[in-house]
Amino acid sequence: MNTTARGAVIHAVGAKWEVEDLALAEPGPGEVRIKVMASGLCHSDDHLVTGDIPNALPLVGGHEGAGIIDAVGPGVTRLAVGDHVATAYLPACGTCAWCAQGMQYICDTGAGMEAGFMLDGTARFSSGTSGRPIGAMQRLGTFANYLVTSQAQAVKIDDDIPFDVACLVSCGVATGWGSAVNGAGVRPRDTVMVIGVGGVGINAVQGARHAGAAHVVAVDPVAYKRERALELGAIHAYATIEDAMPFVHSVTNGQGADNAVVTVGVVDGRLIADAFSAIRKEGTVAVVSIGQNQPGIPISPLELVVYAKHLRGVLFGNCNPTRDIPALLDYYKSGRLKLDELVTRRYTLDQVNDAYSDMHAGLNLRGVLIHEH
């Protein structure tokens, strides 16, 4: 038995999102159907359009979602019909070697997600006209108003949390917050540089402030984003790393920042090298941004070794979805994390291409898609 959904599909690199009627399979063993109420319009979904993240196409977009469990398949134990949930764009099986060590963000069941199919190799979405199977971004597809996914990719949340802010914690907030707290290891009194303060970086600013940083320095060429960063925890904001360095040196005895978090939309090796040069001895650069392999990262091996610097990649803020999504929402409820202030504009599904045009124009801190039912 199939139900129907309406969602935004990307068919080819460089194309526009197309809103289509979709057929949706019933949830299988260990799977749930979610009535999606809201979806974050994350830059990662735009990477499908630009080709910066290689995926098999077509795909139903969207991985930041919040909604209500509408149906459950056989063997579901974590969730029940009527539960409010946020999606987890990375699964957490709970039993692999990585999950057992508290590293759900690299769970083994995340392998092969670029195809958009479930672990059994089949799709849950299909074209409502041709019947062709269609994959889903991160095995989710929150740009559709209904989706089917594994119970390992849905986290129960409190019923009183608005869906339009809960969805943001599914990726952007957790990734940004964790990139500072977990990835860069920010500590009290640190001087932290956050390079790129869009939907992810703005939460690295919040995370660094939460961790006790004395100086959170935001770097972004867009004036609007610099202004918002100052509202959400940054002490100073500059257009470039070069512009920021006189202040950083003035508060670190010329040593450089303790940490740098790279959260630009698309990164290249030169920018990573600039961030690496901006940190002190034993400092850490945490790279969150997606980029290409060429032309490489032009850092000096001598500088890496003699100054004992750290360069690391960070995935989902090195967070554990089952623990950290509820924890971040608890911070929100207690006033320690700002979520309402992140949402610049809400869009309908039919406005999805307008939303990404606004993102590229630097008009949004975060856009949110509100589904109709």
Residue-wise pLDDT for 119-175, tens only, equals 888 999 999 889 899 999 999 999 999 999 999 999 999 999 999 999 999 999 999
Phi and psi at 127, nearest 5°, equal -65, 135
Q: Which residues pair with 125 in a beta bridge?
A: 24, 134
Provide the pLDDT for residue 3: 85
Confidence of residue 197 (pLDDT cuts 50, 70, 90): very high
Length of the chain: 373
With the C-alpha atoms ordered 340, 5, 143, 348, is the resulting torsion angle positive or negative?
Answer: negative
Q: HEC states along 6-73?
A: EEEEECCCCCCCEEEEEEEECCCCCEEEEEEEEEECCHHHHHHHHCCCCCCCCEECCCCEEEEEEEEC
Q: What are the tokens at 65? A: 């979602």
Whether residue 2 has pLDDT greater than 70? no
Which pLDDT score is estimated for 53? Answer: 80
In this prediction, residue 12 carries a pLDDT of: 94
**Quick one: average pLDDT of 348-357?**
96
Q: pLDDT of 89-119, one tens digit each? A: 988 988 999 999 999 999 999 888 888 899 8
Residue with tokens 């959260």: 263
pTM: 0.94
pLDDT of residue 11: 94
- The answer to which of 50-64, 177-191, 257-271 has the lowest mean pLDDT is 50-64
pLDDT (tens digit per residue) in 70-95: 999 999 999 999 999 999 998 898 89
Q: How do the domains of the chain map onto residue ranges? A: 2-170+338-370, 176-315
User: Quick check: 1 pLDDT over 60?
Assistant: no
134 vs 215: CA distance, rounded Å: 46
| Orientation of helix 201-210 relative to helix 223-231, angle to 10° | 30
- pLDDT for res 142: 98
Tally DSSP H helices, then E strands, for the chain.
11, 20
Give 2's strand partners: 25
Amino acid at 98: W
185 in the Ramachandran plot: left (φ > 0), alpha (ψ -120 to 50) or beta?
left
Of 58 and 52, the structure prediction assigns the larger pLDDT to 58
Q: Is residue 82 packed enough to be buried (19+ CB in 10 Å), middle (13-18) or exposed (0-12)?
A: exposed
Q: What is the pLDDT of residue 113?
A: 84
Span 227-255, pLDDT tens digits:
999 999 999 999 999 999 999 999 999 99
Per-residue b/e over 133-146, b at no fewer than 16 CB within 10 Å?
A: bbbbbbbbbbbbbb
Class of residue 63 by CB neighbours under 10 A (exposed 0-12, middle 13-18, buried 19+): buried
Residue 313 main-chain phi, psi, to 5 deg: -90, 150
Q: What's the topology of domain 176-315?
A: Rossmann fold (3.40.50)
Mean pLDDT of 269-273: 95
Q: Which fold has domain 2-170+338-370?
A: Quinone Oxidoreductase; Chain A, domain 1 (3.90.180)
Q: Nearest to residue 7, comparing CAs of 194, 119, 141, 153?
A: 141
Q: How far apart are CA 81 and CA 84, in angstroms?
A: 9
2-170+338-370 and 176-315 in the same fold = no
Q: How many CA atoms lie within 13 A of 277 on its CB side?
A: 14
Mean pLDDT over 351-357 rounds to 96
Tell me what percent of the residues of the chain surpass a pLDDT of 70: 99
Comparison of pLDDT for 85 and 49, the residue scoring more: 85
What's the pLDDT tens digit per position in 200-218?
A: 999 999 999 999 999 999 9
Confidence of residue 280 (pLDDT cuts 50, 70, 90): very high
Structure tokens at 8: 């935004």
